[in-house]
Amino acid sequence: DAGITQSPRHKVTETGTPVTLRCHQTENHRYMYWYRQDPGHGLRLIHYSYGVKDTDKGEVSDGYSVSRSKTEDFLLTLESATSSQTSVYFCANRQESRYYFGPGTRLLVL
Amino acid sequence: GENVEQHPSTLSVQEGDSAVIKCTYSDSASNYFPWYKQELGKRPQLIIDIRSNVGEKKDQRIAVTLNKTAKHFSLHITETQPEDSAVYFCAATLGSDEKLTFGTGTRLTIIP
């Protein structure tokens, strides 16, 4: 599982509140990614990081921001949660070309 | 950017028969094509992958084929077993950052 953990694993929040999800890797892989998974859409890239303080947008980045202050941690923030952001969020790292995913965070925005 | 289409969205197969899932991609520069298996409530797990300089790769009961000219690749599972029931995703990477674009998934059900 490439030593990836995510926290929290489940969260219920209200519309308009900020939410931060954490991804932690035990290995020193340069690339880390945040995806969301929704029925009928597969997994879609939100943001990714190619090093400490180096991040870029994916295809569904609106309403999300990320930060990477340490190699091992990649944070995803929903600035003001909306019901459309109810989803399962997966973090991943990349070893050469291979992606390895964390266990996921199930987020419900009421 | 890359676009990956996957078919079928659902597939039911008798135990012991073969299953085939097909994907097409849009960008001819894509060079890496993994397949993931996701069981209910679990994370996607890499099961097999292939690079653009290889036409076919096999690992026990699973195999992947790639046709670069047609821009499509397929997953083949032989002698299917109940534990093969899951959702399968194809994907393709593009660019120096190797961003991974996924298909929409195939729910495979093995009928005992």
Q: Is residue B100 less than 8 Å (CB to CB) from chain A?
A: yes
Task: Judge residue A96's burial from the number of C-beta atoms within 10 Å of its C-beta, 0-12 exposed, 13-18 middle, 19 or more buried.
Answer: exposed
Whether A1 sits inside 8 A of B43 (CB atoms) is yes
Strands B32-38 and B19-25: unpaired
- What's the pLDDT score for residue B40? 94
Give how far B17 is from chain A: nearest CA, Å. Answer: 26
Contact B4, B90 (CB under 8 A): yes
User: In chain A, which residues have their Cβ closer than 8 Å to the Cβ of B1?
Assistant: 59
Mean pLDDT (whole number) for A44-60 = 95
The rounded mean pLDDT for chain A is 95
- The A-side interface with B (CB below 8 A) comprises 1, 31, 33, 35, 40-45, 48, 50, 56, 58-59, 90, 94, 97-104
- Checking if the pLDDT of A96 tops 80, the result is yes
A19 closest CA partner among A93, A85, A69: A85
Does residue B112 have a cis bond before it (omega within 30 degrees)? no
Share of chain B above pLDDT 70, in %: 100
Q: Which two tokens stand for residue A4?
A: 């990836």
Return d(Cα A57, Cα B108) in angstroms, integer.
32
CB pairs under 8 A between A and B: 50
CA distances from B52 to B3, B34, B60, B71, B100 (A): 16, 11, 21, 10, 15
Residues of chain B with pLDDT under 50: none
Please provide the average confidence, as pLDDT, over all residues in chain B.
95
The answer, for B14 touching chain A at a CB cutoff of 8 Å, is no
